[in-house]
Every structure is written in structure tokens, then in C-alpha cells.
Amino acid sequence: MNNLLQAGTLKPTLIFPAGMPRSLEYLEKCKREGQSVIGSSSLAYDVSREKYPAWTYLPYITDPEFNNSLKNVIEEFDIGGIYTPNPVAWSYLNRVLKNINADILLVNEWPVTDELSGYRAATSHARQMFDQPLSLASSLPAKASISQLEIATLFRHGNVIPGMCDDEKISALCEIARYSTKGDVVEIGSWWGKSAFILARLSRCYGIGKTLCVDPWSSEHAVQNDEGGLVDSCIPNYDCEEALRVFEMNLLPYSANDINYLRMPSTAGAKHYGKYKNATTESFGSTDYSGKIAILHIDGNHSYEAAKADIETWSSYVVPGGWIVIDDYVWPYGNGPKRVGDEYLAENLSRISAAFVMGTALFLQLEALVR
Ligand SMILES: C[S@@+](CC[C@H](N)C(=O)[O-])C[C@H]1O[C@@H](n2cnc3c(N)ncnc32)[C@H](O)[C@@H]1O
């Protein structure tokens, strides 16, 4: 068992070596939580020292003087615990710390556990999906699934992007992509780009088509008129310009002229899409679309009026066999998406071949013309 200490000690935490990226992340966390810290490394001059409120030098752990120096630092600064993301330093300290000062503990787990936890979770999600496949009664035949490794990769990279697309929804999107016809993949409401990444990647893997994201990225359009106003009250805390930059940073590495966006509300976006079948942006260049939608993901403004306008303006582009996904069909802050989904279902029942709710989203597949 390692010398794990619960964070939150009032005494200062020593961060060593203090310049590693994880050390700097930990420093930021301590600052946010009001935990005092002291940075330390074995470099004569460490550029990261400017970032720390206090600093001290320690020799390399291979230096015979290291243990004595550390003992002195602990006493001099009244250190309460030590954080080290370096696996070798961690192993060494985990072994010898009790001999240097019996009261001091490492505040973090074996660093590799932390580094790999996201990969391990993604691998486990992918394994689960293979062990318990979702049975879909689709009007189209299924394509062979992408490999377990591809799915793990999708979860891993997707979950690095902050956003509102949970693992259940990712699993369902993986499955509907197997039963998708060819065409454009259009998302209404992308924000930081999490679900856009998942859709674009699946579209590439299954040869579906190009991805178009439609979002005004503006606080004016973010108003949802949610019941109780809880969602709307958060709007001032978001920066829409930053959200678009984050979206671009998340999607650019994955685009091979097959991802782009329209920075406009969905109804204007539908007109533009129908007329030009093109999106041109400084960051992604110029992308031509087919004008026929294979997967339409509606996750924009959730007021009834806005969600209704989304489906009315975009659904006519969805081809037979295409999918319409209405996010937040189950939503604690209002029933706009649910009313819109139910109305669409009722009005189009005869041409819908599959409908299910998974997580919080409603998935609808239009009847394919040829079985
Ligand atoms: C819930 S977020 C989208 C989350 C994203 N799909 C994800 O999974 O991470 C809702 C997005 O809808 C956008 N939005 C609001 N009104 C819109 C409209 N009229 N047309 C298109 N997008 C809109 C907002 O700017 C915001 O980015």
C-alpha cells in the first residue's frame, strides 16, 4: 500500500519535480483550492519557478545528499505532503519517505494510474459494447463494426473534449452509424465540439459523408427559456468566442477537408445549406456538401419554438434510411425537445422504421426505400 494522503492538508504541499506538465496542472488545482504549495526541482534554473509562490532546490534523487536535503526542506517549510507525477521519483519516495520523515505522505497515487485511467476507461467501454451489442431493428443492413480498438480510441479522444455527450449516447451513436446510409452528417449545436468529434469520426470510419456543424456561438441565441431559468442563468459565465476557438482546436486535427461549420442560427444555416451546399471558414477552408443528410443531430437551443424550427427547417434534407437524433429528449429543465420529438414521431409514424431513447436522446430512423 502506498503512502496516500487525502488532499486538503493545511500545511504546504511540496511539488517535485515542479516543472512537469502534471505538476503545473496540480499547482493550478492547489491555487484554485487555496492549498499552499512549494515548487522544487533539481535544475540550477527551472523556468517553471516563476509560476510558484515559493520555491526550493533539491538535488536529484540519485544524489547521496537527496534524503538529507529533503528532510531539511520538510522541516524548514513545514511541509504537509509531497506531490510527484514522476514515476521514478514517486517509487523512490514511496519506499524511503517513512525513513526521512515518518509524518509526511505522498498526496498522489502511482502516477501511471492517473495517466492511463482515461485509456483504461475507454478500453473498458469498448469491451462492454462488444460484449453487449445493442440490437437495432433498422431498415438498413448493418455494416461490419469498426474494431474494438477504434471504438476505444473514439471514447478516449471524445472524452478529452469537454461537453455534454455522455458515454451512453456515444455508444448509441456508434451503433446507428453502422446502420447509416451515405450523406452529410449535420449537427445543430456543437459548442466545444464533443459530439461533433464523435459524429465526424464515426462518419469517417463508416464512409458516411462530410460533417457540418451549425451553431451561432452567440449568447443571444443561447437563451433557452428553460423552466426555472437555471440553464439561462449560466449564460453570462460562458465565453462564446472562446467556445468557438475550443471547437476549432478540438476538430481541426481530425479534419481532412471533411469537417466545417456555419456560424449562424440553425434556420439561417438550413437556408445556406440548401442554397450553397458549402461551408467556408478561415480555419477549415472550403467544404462542399452533398445537400442530403444521413445523420441529423439536433442539440441546439432547447426551447420548444427553437427545437421545432430546427426539425422543420432541416428534416426535409434527411434521406430515406437517414437518422434524426434529438438530444435532451429527456431533459430536467423543460420539455421542448420531447414535445418536438413526439410531434415529429406522431406526424411521420408511417415512414419511421426505428425509434428508441438511449441516455437522454431520441433516435429516429426514416424508412429506407430499398431494403
Ligand atoms: C448543449 S450545447 C451543444 C453541446 C454539444 N452538442 C456537445 O455534445 O457537446 C447547445 C449549443 O446550441 C447552440 N445553439 C443555440 N441556439 C442555436 C440555434 N438557434 N441554432 C444552432 N445552434 C444553437 C449553442 O450555441 C450551443 O453551442
- Residue 34 inside a domain? The answer is yes
Distance from the alpha carbon of residue 299 to the mean position of ligand 1, in angstroms = 6
Please tell me the distance from the alpha carbon of residue 67 to that of residue 59, in angstroms, as a whole number: 9
In this structure, the answer to whether residues 346 and 208 fall within a common structural domain is yes
Whether ligand 1 lies within 6 angstroms of the CB of 214 is answered as yes
For 351-360, the pLDDT digits (tens) are 999 999 998 9
Whether ligand 1 lies within 6 angstroms of the CB of 265 is answered as yes
For 49-100, the pLDDT digits (tens) are 999 999 999 999 999 999 999 999 999 999 999 999 999 999 999 999 999 9
- Which residue's CA is minimally distant from atom 6 of ligand 1? 190
pLDDT-derived band of residue 5, with 50, 70 and 90 as boundaries?
very low
- The domain boundary, picked from 109, 125, 142, lies at 109
Burial class (CB in 10 A: 0-12, 13-18, 19+), 65: exposed
Burial class (CB in 10 A: 0-12, 13-18, 19+), 264: middle
Nearest to 265 by CA among 208, 224, 306, 229: 306
Distance from the alpha carbon of residue 149 to the mean position of ligand 1, in angstroms = 30
Please tell me the distance from the alpha carbon of residue 152 to that of residue 156, in angstroms, as a whole number: 6
pLDDT-derived band of residue 370, with 50, 70 and 90 as boundaries?
low
- Residue 314 inside a domain? The answer is yes
For 229-241, the pLDDT digits (tens) are 888 888 888 899 9
For 189-214, the pLDDT digits (tens) are 999 999 999 999 999 999 999 999 99
Please tell me the distance from the alpha carbon of residue 22 to that of residue 83, in angstroms, as a whole number: 10
For 236-261, the pLDDT digits (tens) are 888 999 999 999 999 999 999 999 99
In this structure, the answer to whether residues 82 and 139 fall within a common structural domain is no
| Model pLDDT, residue 158 | 96
Nearest to 278 by CA among 299, 295, 261, 256: 261
- Ligand 1 atom closest to 300 (CA): 12
CATH of the domain at 35: 3.40.50.720
- Is it the case that residue 2 has pLDDT exceeding 70? no
The pLDDT mean for the chain works out to 94
- Is it the case that residue 3 has pLDDT exceeding 60? no
- Which residue's CA is minimally distant from atom 16 of ligand 1? 301
Whether ligand 1 lies within 6 angstroms of the CB of 199 is answered as no
In this structure, the answer to whether residues 156 and 300 fall within a common structural domain is yes
Whether ligand 1 lies within 6 angstroms of the CB of 222 is answered as yes
| Model pLDDT, residue 219 | 87
Whether ligand 1 lies within 6 angstroms of the CB of 360 is answered as no
Mean pLDDT of 260-269: 98
Give SS3 for 211.
strand
Whether ligand 1 lies within 6 angstroms of the CB of 217 is answered as yes
- Residue 89 inside a domain? The answer is yes
Query: For residues 344, 179, 171 and 257, what is the CA-based torsion angle, rounded to 10 degrees?
Result: -90
How many domains is the chain built from? 2
- Ligand 1 atom closest to 306 (CA): 19
Among 161, 169, 191, 296, the mutation site with the greatest number of ligand 1 atoms within 8 A of its Cβ is 191
- Domain containing 147 equals 117-366
In this structure, the answer to whether residues 124 and 202 fall within a common structural domain is yes
- Residue 6 inside a domain? The answer is no
Distance from the alpha carbon of residue 204 to the mean position of ligand 1, in angstroms = 23
| Model pLDDT, residue 351 | 94
Whether ligand 1 lies within 6 angstroms of the CB of 195 is answered as yes
Instruction: Give Cα separations from 319 to 135, 184, 196, 296, 324 (angstroms).
Output: 23, 10, 20, 10, 10
Residue 361, beta-bridge partner list = 358
pTM here? 0.90
In this structure, the answer to whether residues 31 and 157 fall within a common structural domain is no
Whether ligand 1 lies within 6 angstroms of the CB of 194 is answered as yes
Angle at the Cα of 313 from the Cα atoms of 308 and 316, rounded to 5 degrees: 115
Backbone angles phi and psi of 321, in degrees to 5:
85, -5
DSSP H helices, the chain, are: 21-33, 66-77, 87-100, 111-131, 148-160, 167-178, 194-205, 219-222, 240-251, 266-276, 304-314, 336-348
- The domain boundary, picked from 58, 90, 109, lies at 109
In this structure, the answer to whether residues 55 and 153 fall within a common structural domain is no
For 288-299, the pLDDT digits (tens) are 999 999 999 999
CATH of the domain at 167: 3.40.50.150
Whether ligand 1 lies within 6 angstroms of the CB of 184 is answered as no
Do 364 and 324 contact (CB within 8 A), yes or no? yes
Please tell me the distance from the alpha carbon of residue 44 to that of residue 26, in angstroms, as a whole number: 22
Angle, helices 87-100/66-77, rounded to nearest 10 degrees: 70
- The domain boundary, picked from 78, 109, 140, lies at 109
**Number of Cβ atoms within 10 Å of the Cβ of 146:** 18
